[in-house]
Amino acid sequence: MANETSYAALLAAGGAVARILSTRLHQNLYDPTSIRRLFSFVPFVGGASATQNITKVTRGYVASAATNETTGGGSRQVLSTGNYDLTVARYYAKMAPTDLLHIVGGPLDVDYLLGVLTETLDLTLTDMLTDAFQNIAGSVGTSGVNLTTDDWYDAIFYLNLQNNPRELAAVLHNQQVNDLVESVRGETGASVHRPDTQAILEAKGVGYVGTWAGVDIYQSDSVELDGGSANRVGAMFSEGVIAYQLAPVSRMLDGMMINAADILAATEEMFVERDRDADNGVSDMLVNFYPAVAEQEDLRGVRIVTDA
């Protein structure tokens, strides 16, 4: 046979192309975990300062017996207080699609880029919160040794000794979660037939991975290494160990500091603005937000430092 109109011939001479762009997008693996709901949110006040000072007060006083029925009086008890600061700082992320990108089209359009930019707020907060873990004074775990259920209970006991409430949570690195699950596998006795033990042995993923021994467990790859790069520094804590804040950017938008037409997206906590570079045919998309994170009460948390 001869004179076929073949794909190969058209490819060479014209009429067919080697490949076309599919509209389907595959998202590579990444950790989108947001852990901010585990921590205390402090509303921003403003008042001519980027720093907000929060008072801490200690209660739990008891009365003293009177020394005499009619005389002697009593000593005054001083109310014990402390304080800490939340200082907001500007954070931004920028992407710059060119005019040509808009013209040729494709699945990676402005909306997709907007989604990438707006999720930076939660991811940045997660990084800031795990950075704050590293300054918690108390720690459990043995350097260079995998996380075990013994370390888990050491952390629970440590927090209990500090009078922490019953509701506890932990944020661990992926490796620490794996090690904990491995240790739970080896448990016998009182732990083995509990529903939470059965549940924790199921496959895990990012974010919330389960509850064991009454502690909610979250996994995040933002959990840092220690100085020797041999251990991960996770944490177990009750609510109130760390506080965070997001300054309301709406004040700036209401103040008409930016042309409304240049605001691509806005919420109370962040906004995305456009900055046009006409000379170079580029439009910068810039997300802005003003977060703050601070350790509120150290004894509400304990670092879990175990083999990476």
Which region among 102-110, 183-191, 203-211, 277-285 touches another protein (by CB under 8 A)? 183-191
Query: Out of 164, 293, 300, 304, which residue is the one contacting another protein (CB under 8 A)?
Result: 293
Contact mark string toward another protein, 195..234, x via CB under 8 A: -----------------------------xxxxxxxx-x-
The DSSP secondary-structure symbol of 12 reads: H
Nearer to another protein, 168 or 294 (CB): 294
182 binding another protein? (CB under 8 A): no
Site size with another protein, rule: CB under 8 A: 46
Say if residues 234 and 133 touch (Cβ distance below 8 Å): yes
Write the burial class of residue 247 (CB in 10 Å: 0-12 exposed, 13-18 middle, 19+ buried).
buried
272 binding another protein? (CB under 8 A): no
Q: Are strands 91-95 and 282-289 parallel, antiparallel or unpaired?
A: antiparallel
User: Which residue in 153, 168, 131 sits closest to 38, CA to CA?
Assistant: 168
State how far the Cα of 31 lies from the Cα of 127, in Å rounded to an integer: 11
DSSP letters spanning 221-252: TTPPB-TTSSEEEEEEE-TTSEEEEE--THHH
Nearer to another protein, 233 or 287 (CB): 233
91 binding another protein? (CB under 8 A): yes
Helix, strand, or coil here: 184? helix
Q: Are strands 139-140 and 242-246 parallel, antiparallel or unpaired?
A: unpaired
Query: Out of 74, 186, 205, 214, which residue is the one contacting another protein (CB under 8 A)?
Result: 186
Closest approach of Cβ 147 to another protein, in Å?
Answer: 14
Q: Where would I find the beta strands (DSSP E) of 186-308?
A: 207-212, 215-219, 231-237, 242-246, 263-266, 270-277, 282-289, 291-295, 301-307
Task: Work out whether the CA dihedral 289, 82, 242, 54 comes out positive or negative.
Answer: negative
Nearer to another protein, 96 or 99 (CB): 96
Residues 140-159 that bind another protein (CB under 8 A): 142-144, 150, 154
Residues 123-142 that bind another protein (CB under 8 A): 128, 131-132, 134-139, 142
284 binding another protein? (CB under 8 A): no
Q: Which residues bind another protein (CB under 8 A)?
A: 50-51, 84-91, 128, 131-132, 134-139, 142-144, 150, 154, 186, 188-189, 224-231, 233, 290-295, 298, 303, 305, 308
